[in-house]
Amino acid sequence: MVKYSCERCGKGFSQKSHYDSHNGRKTPCENNADKIKALVDKAVEEKLKELNNKKLIVKNKDVNENTDIMQPEKNQCKEVKYIDLFCGLGAFHTAFNRNNILQNKVKHTCVFACDINDGVRKVYEENFGIKPEGDINKINIDTMPDFDILCAGFPCQPFSIAGNQKGFEDKTRGNLFYALLKIIDKKHPKTLMLENVKNLHTIHEGKTFNIIKSELEKRGYNVSYKVIDSRYYKCPQSRHRIYIICNKDTSYTFREINNPIVPVSTIIDNSITDFFDYKQKFTLEKCNGKSMMKYKLINKKSGKGGRQGERIYDITKCGPTICASSGGPGGKTGLYEINGKFRTLSVKETLKMFGFNETYKYESLPNKKDMLFYLGNSIVVNVVEELIKDL
């Protein structure tokens, strides 16, 4: 039984005489106390490090798990692909690009475009970096990429009041609707966005529109449509067009939009000094009432006037429909009174009438005024931008 213990080396003794003898040695025993303490301290330190490392691993794991949970909601975007048929100047494309900025959870990507007009195709490529295909009837649908949304402002001339209203009797332009159906039958897109002139649903006592609606419903689409006036969509142009939106899963609901009227004065470039001198050929006839029109031009020889290209409009009000087919002194844009003088709108001003960006380019066109014809057949960006928010 140990009764005595050396404080230096830790050795134990049962008899005091042995303990005294040990302490009286000429050569002192080895001091193990400091070594033991050092070993204990080291063991404790290592254990603490081990425990701290385990805590750090667990903490990082929790952070990573939380990050993984939040990441899709915060950073990931769902990509929705669309095609732009009869693409024109790219009103659909412009509207989708703006919507990508407004709604970060969905990224819309154009994967295909087509238009029969060579000049339009060059301008479209210049602005969006996509070279459109040509005639829709010559497209190889089998090589067309898959997509979610089909956009098409299919040709309106066969149905337009300004045209001959032959509808499907027009063997070339009127039957292009069936070219759309061929693409739909092969690709089965979830959503369709179609645009046309306002009287599409009334021409031929509604028979033409009933054919369109019936063909789309046969393919499983819920068909919604509405005639929209662009003046209520923050656009300084009154342009009535019918929009047909079809979904396979749900019925699209058109929200009521009734923004304050934006006057033409907001897009006027006051640095332009090229005005029209009407006095040689015309006299002015003042218009009464609250119309957007201020004067009519009356031909001095014939005594006739007042056609679309012979009207002068008030810049403090909304402007009329930009028309590709109108002629006369105010052809395409109409004439406007600016500081007591009259002139048509410039290309840049007309682009703004449709809601296109100020940075829109058309350097590829040898004749820049061709843009006025293309714009006369264009879709208003502001309207499409609002509609796609509810797709």
Residue type, 180: L
Q: Of 202, 219, 100, 101, which Cα lies nearest the Cα of 150?
A: 219
The reported pLDDT for the residue numbered 104 is 64
Distances 338 to 37, 276, 321 between C-alpha atoms, Å: 98, 11, 19
Annotation marks residue 156 as catalytic: yes
Nearest to residue 227, comparing CAs of 247, 251, 199?
199
Q: In the numeric block, which tokens belong to residue 287? A: 């218009």
- The CA distance from 379 to 89, in Å, is 9
From first to last of the 391 residues of the chain, give the pLDDT tens digit: 556 677 667 677 677 777 677 677 766 676 665 666 666 666 767 766 676 666 544 445 554 444 443 344 556 788 999 999 999 999 999 999 998 876 668 899 999 999 999 999 999 999 999 999 999 999 999 999 999 999 999 875 544 444 454 545 544 444 788 899 999 999 999 999 999 999 888 888 888 899 899 999 999 999 999 999 999 999 999 999 999 999 999 999 999 999 999 999 999 999 999 999 999 999 999 998 778 999 999 999 999 998 889 999 999 999 999 998 878 899 999 999 999 999 999 999 999 999 999 999 999 999 999 999 999 999 999 999 999 999 9
State the pLDDT at residue 74: 54
Report how far Cα 45 is from the mean position of its chain's Cα atoms.
61
Token pair, residue 1, equals: 């039984």
Task: Please give the C-alpha separations between residue 223 and each of 54, 193, 207, 257, in angstroms, as whole numbers.
Answer: 60, 10, 16, 20
- In whole angstroms, give the CA distance from residue 201 to residue 213: 10
Best CA proximity match to 80, nearest among 100, 94, 59, 61: 100
Distances in whole angstroms, Cα of residue 24 to Cα of each of 3, 14, 20, 37, 184: 18, 17, 6, 25, 108
Q: Which of 110, 114, 151, 156 is catalytic?
A: 156
Q: What number of H helices and E strands is found in the chain?
A: 9, 13
Give the H or E element holding residue 126: helix 118-128
Residue 73: per-residue pLDDT: 52
The pLDDT, as a whole number, for residue 160 is: 45
